[in-house]
Amino acid sequence: MKKILVIHTGGTISMHEADGQILPGDVNPMTHVQLTRFDNIEISSIDLLNLPSPHITPQHMLIIYQELKQKLPYFDGAVITHGTDTLEETAYFLDTLALPDDKPVVLTGAMRSSNELGSDGVYNYRSALRVAADDKAVGKGVLVVMNDEIHAAKYVTKTHTTNVSTFQTPTHGPLGLLTKHDSLYFQTAEARVRFDLSEIKGTIPIIKAYAGMGAGILVLLDSERIDGLVIEALGAGNLPPDAVPYLTDLIAKGTPVILVSRCFNGIAEAVYGYEGGGVALAKAGVMFVKELNSQKARLKLLIALNSGLTGQALKTYIEG
């Protein structure tokens, strides 16, 4: 018998449709799901939050972490139900924090609410429980299970507004998949640095680069009020030239600036030597984040700063 901790946090999986609108309710339908086929799973569930995921903040993620840290030692694994809009961010956050051991921690959600035709909530919930109770999932890091696929928290992203196969892992592909009776893993989890935090604060905006951006929106940022900046740069990691002096000034004032690519696939690297190109940006002190999307890179910097990393230690972690 496997003991699985379930933490509900809200999202479409907990909502229902009424008069053409998707709405949160007082009672989470997942708490009434009878999973009779899971004779070998004992579920202990907590309604920790009941939030649409656009309302989720890093402070909420920390509450989920603290709950897991305290309770996971008494279970074989955990499932967290969550709205899909920011699910990848909570998954990455938990994967970067120091959960007590290597037990499976699985996030899931739904694209269709509980009473909509073809609702995927119960199915995904059941799949997440299967993975959380599976010895093969031990040591794989925090996982996202949706639509029969098992994804690593580090890379998975929501790619479609409504389709049930919205969660994908660009560049790498999923870690594994669920069949009717089994689970298959194609890849192992990567080694990673993990942090224990008791509070999280800071303001780190994300700016997306675009053709003709110039210094544009950058000059509107009040450098006194931000703790760091994430730039979603063009291609391999390049910016329109007018952006460079502003970023150089910001870095000189001690504000860390990190860069990811706005491309869906691939890795940001300092490749081009022209004005505004990645080589000049790296020389100016911009730190390149390999492979993460901007919303996860933002959490990486936030966690690093809240852990007290500065200077070379910060650069090594951010670029590692």
Residue 53 near ligand ASP by CB under 6 A: yes
User: Is 36 assigned a catalytic role?
Assistant: no
Residue 47 near ligand ASP by CB under 6 A: no
Residue 127 near ligand ASP by CB under 6 A: no
Task: At 248, list the tokens.
Answer: 């150089």
User: Is 108 assigned a catalytic role?
Assistant: no
Sequence-separated (6 or more) residues with CB below 8 Å from residue 295? 86, 88, 89, 206
Beta carbon of residue 87, minimum distance to ligand ASP (angstroms, whole number):
7
**Residue 10: closest CA among 115, 77, 66, 87:** 87
Catalytic residue among 9, 36, 81, 84: 84
Is 45 annotated as belonging to a binding site? no
108, 146 Cβ separation under 8 angstroms: yes
17, 115 Cβ separation under 8 angstroms: yes
Residue 174 near ligand ASP by CB under 6 A: no
Residue 29 near ligand ASP by CB under 6 A: no
95, 175 Cβ separation under 8 angstroms: no
Nearer to ligand ASP, 83 or 104 (CB): 83
Is 53 annotated as belonging to a binding site? yes
198, 228 Cβ separation under 8 angstroms: no
Query: Which stretch in 38-46, 70-78, 79-87, 303-311 sits in contact with ligand ASP by CB under 6 A?
Result: 79-87
Nearer to ligand ASP, 12 or 293 (CB): 12
Side-by-side strand order, sheet with 2-8: 41-47, 2-8, 77-81, 105-108, 142-146, 149-152, 176-178, 183-185
Query: Which stretch in 59-67, 82-90, 174-182, 200-208 sits in contact with ligand ASP by CB under 6 A?
Result: 82-90
Select the residue whose beta carbon is closest to ligand ASP and give its number: 83
**Any idea which residues carry the catalytic annotation?**
12, 84
Q: Which residues bind ligand ASP (CB under 6 A)?
A: 11-12, 52-53, 83-85, 109, 111
